[in-house]
Amino acid sequence: MAVTAPDVTAEIARQRPALCGLLGALVRTDTTNPPGDTRRAVDLVASRLRSAGVDVQILADEPKKPNLLLRLGSGRPELLLLTHLDTVPPGDPGAWRHPPFGAQLVGTRLYGLGAGDPKGCAAAMVVAVETLARLAVPLAGSLLLALVSDEEVGGARGTEMLVTRGFLRPDRVIVGEVTNNRIAIAEKGVLWVRLVTRGRTAHGSTPWTGVNAIRAMVRVLAALDAEIGQALARRTHPLTPPPSLSFGTIRGGIATNVVPDRCEATIDRRTLPEESPQEALAEIDRVIARLRCEDPDLDVTVEPIQTGPPVETSPEAPLVRAAQEAAITLGLDPSPVGYQQASDGRFFSVRGVETILFGPGIPELAHAPDEYVDLDDVMTAATFYAQVAIKLLGRS
């Protein structure tokens, strides 16, 4: 007798204790990035999957940052479930009422660093794939799972490496990120820029004999804020937050009584889906060019240090339609939303691959003390991933 979507849903429900146990084990496993060592987490998941009779492949560009891949079925089309295993550092431990690696359970809430972002997604995806394999659901194509490293610092050793080297070439992608179990079809792009101003040292008692690099940086940042930052609030997109310009770091000087000859600042610029990081960089360059015209002695350099294209998938795409059908079945709101942060989805969207983001957890809790995820939502996410796979790949 053919396996149906209700059969899969019921089997996932029976797996609740196993899913909760896996999530707790992942949260107790330190994968903070930096340093981004995910070996123990990958070994944990790989051992579980192999025990269930599912073959996995481990690929690593750096030994401490492995990536786990598996495939069910064969051929095209390929649906990829992808999320990351690394987390940001916990920050001040004193700010946490529940230990960041404690995986404490309070009611249906599991507390801990990465409980939602992204280990709730990882546990849900693993159980979804495990269930489809256990029930031998026939697939007309391939279902892939990728649990990657390095996302929190750009993805160079994780998704970017897997895509650029041809290990991942899916037709459709669901990226596991914290969306409160909403279907996100758009996210802003990202541009990180390093600014460096240079001057000339002098004694602090005679500052007019030197050139103050910090003062020059203050002028540059003030101009960028006035000419770009304030204007961004007037630009809108129906799904994402407004574009933004944030000054992230600033460093300069060697002593209070020495005029600084160097100052460095970094900028985080988020772009709307219809903008490009290249356009955003050109906008910054135009402001700097105007400042140089006003002051030919201004010594400032602009260096892009990270770029990421935005994500935007048509609401009419087959992946979105299948996701909405699954959401309705599960009693979720099927209307598309935008994702507030940036994700590994950009590596696929820029290549024209249908990409959505979906996962349990409240976005505002990500990267914050006392992060938690509701286990009921994790169970729903696992069922969602499995149902979308059946809708897109299922064969009667």
- The predicted pLDDT at position 340 comes to 85
Q: Percentage of the chain surpassing pLDDT 90?
A: 92
Rounded to an integer, the average pLDDT of 152-174 is 95
Rounded to an integer, the average pLDDT of 189-217 is 96
Rounded to an integer, the average pLDDT of 107-130 is 97
Q: Is the pLDDT of residue 59 over 90?
A: yes
Q: Please report how many Cα atoms fall inside a 13 Å half-sphere around the Cα of residue 376, on the Cβ side.
A: 7
Tokens 């310009």 belong to 245
Rounded to an integer, the average pLDDT of 165-175 is 97
- CA–CA distance, 218 with 209 (Å, rounded to integer): 19
Q: Is the pLDDT of residue 359 over 80?
A: yes
Q: Is the pLDDT of residue 75 over 70?
A: yes
**Cβ-contact 96, 370 below 8 angstroms:** yes
Please, is 334 exposed, middle or buried when counting C-beta atoms within 10 Å of its C-beta (0-12, 13-18, 19+)?
middle
Rounded to an integer, the average pLDDT of 217-232 is 95
| Helix axes 318-329 and 375-393, enclosed angle (nearest 10) | 130
Among left, alpha and beta (phi > 0; psi -120 to 50; other), residue 185 is alpha
